[in-house]
């Protein structure tokens, strides 16, 4: 009998170094995101840099379909709560917009200026501001750290107002980090400052889901083993707490290419995200 034990927490949660040409991301997203933004702006279908709270990074971009939106998709970016902003991800709105949904993509105040719990409160404010502009059902999706943030919205201690919680139809977490305790073992925790108390209040896998939540946990089959484990972990626990859950492992996709399906209205990722 063989046993598996994580002994190198840096390697277990590092992505680019274990992907061929992995150092091209996130820079590879800059140009397609800008081109998408520019094209939709020229068509009069964007509202950019909308404030949802007073801090400098409390801004979101709203992308609009050709006709009245069927509802709202909110995409929350990753970067280990330490990096990046809304400008890298605009093109990921393409699949949902082509299906008739508006898409909001917020930035948020990064660690160490903020803490993960504080970021969660900002995301709740961003969802609220966008939802006040767009009627209909709300669908949440997020990548990596963003997966943790969108799942956190659907817990019994959610920072979201109950009226907006009731509008959320589906949460799709992509490569989410749902148990923060292993991240405490990484050197980056000097900036994140996760402690035992925050791990317990902000890890979706340690919290209870709200009633009637529908959750999809999606991950690439070529991702690091810990991301695949964390993806299955949340669905496993929330299934036992009464949530409707699904786990999808998309073959051959790594931590960055797993997002590609959001650009295509016909891709299974987008179709799953928007399924009624």
pLDDT of residue 5: 84
Burial of 109 (0-12, 13-18, 19+ CB in 10 A): middle
pLDDT of residue 43: 97
End-to-end C-alpha distance for the chain, whole angstroms: 44
Is the predicted pLDDT of residue 38 greater than 90, yes or no?
Answer: yes
Q: What phi-psi label fits residue 175: left (phi over 0), alpha (psi between -120 and 50 degrees) or beta?
A: left
Rounded to whole angstroms, the Cα distance separating 226 from 101 reads 33
CATH architecture designation of domain 9-274:
3-Layer(aba) Sandwich (3.40)
pLDDT of residue 197: 97
Rounded to whole angstroms, the Cα distance separating 261 from 251 reads 12
- Percent pLDDT > 90 in the chain is 91
User: What is the per-residue pLDDT across 155-177, written as a single tens digit (0 to 9) for each?
Assistant: 999 999 999 999 999 999 999 99
What tokens were used for 262?
């959001």
Is the predicted pLDDT of residue 3 greater than 80, yes or no?
Answer: no
Is the predicted pLDDT of residue 36 greater than 90, yes or no?
Answer: yes
Across the beta sheet with 244-250, the strand order is: 46-51, 59-63, 102-106, 72-76, 138-143, 168-174, 214-220, 244-250
User: What is the per-residue pLDDT across 207-262, written as a single tens digit (0 to 9) for each?
Assistant: 999 988 899 999 999 999 999 999 999 999 999 999 999 999 999 999 999 999 99
pLDDT of residue 70: 98
For residue 21, name the pLDDT band (cuts at 50, 70, 90). Answer: confident
This prediction's pTM: 0.96
Rounded to whole angstroms, the Cα distance separating 269 from 259 reads 8
- Percent pLDDT > 70 in the chain is 100
């Amino acid at each position: 009998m063989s046993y598996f034990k994580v002994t190198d927490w840096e390697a277990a949660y590092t992505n680019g170094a274990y992907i061929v040409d992995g150092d091209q991301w996130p820079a590879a997203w800059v140009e397609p995101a800008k081109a998408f933004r520019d094209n939709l702006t020229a068509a009069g279908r964007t509202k950019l840099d909308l404030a949802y709270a007073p801090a400098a990074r409390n801004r979101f971009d709203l992308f609009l379909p050709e006709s009245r939106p069927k509802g709202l998709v909110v995409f929350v970016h990753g970067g280990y709560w330490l990096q990046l902003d809304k400008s890298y991800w605009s093109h990921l709105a393409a699949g949902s917009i082509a299906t008739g949904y508006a898409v909001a993509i917020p930035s948020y105040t990064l660690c160490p200026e903020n803490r993960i719990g504080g970021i969660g409160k900002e995301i709740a404010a961003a969802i609220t501001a966008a939802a006040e502009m767009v009627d209909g059902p709300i669908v949440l999706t997020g990548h990596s750290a963003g997966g943790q943030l969108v799942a956190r919205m659907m817990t019994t201690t959610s920072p979201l107002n109950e009226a907006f919680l009731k509008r959320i139809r589906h949460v799709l977490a992509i490569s989410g980090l749902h148990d923060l305790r292993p991240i405490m073992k990484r050197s980056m925790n000097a900036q994140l400052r996760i402690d035992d108390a925050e791990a317990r209040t902000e890890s979706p896998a340690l919290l209870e889901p709200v009633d009637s939540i529908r959750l999809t946990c999606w991950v690439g089959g070529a991702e690091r083993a810990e991301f695949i484990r964390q993806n299955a972990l949340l669905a496993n626990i929330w299934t036992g707490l009464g949530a409707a859950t699904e786990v999808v492992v998309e073959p051959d996709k790594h931590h960055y290419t797993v997002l590609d399906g959001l650009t295509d209205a016909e891709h299974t990722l987008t179709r799953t995200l928007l399924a009624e």
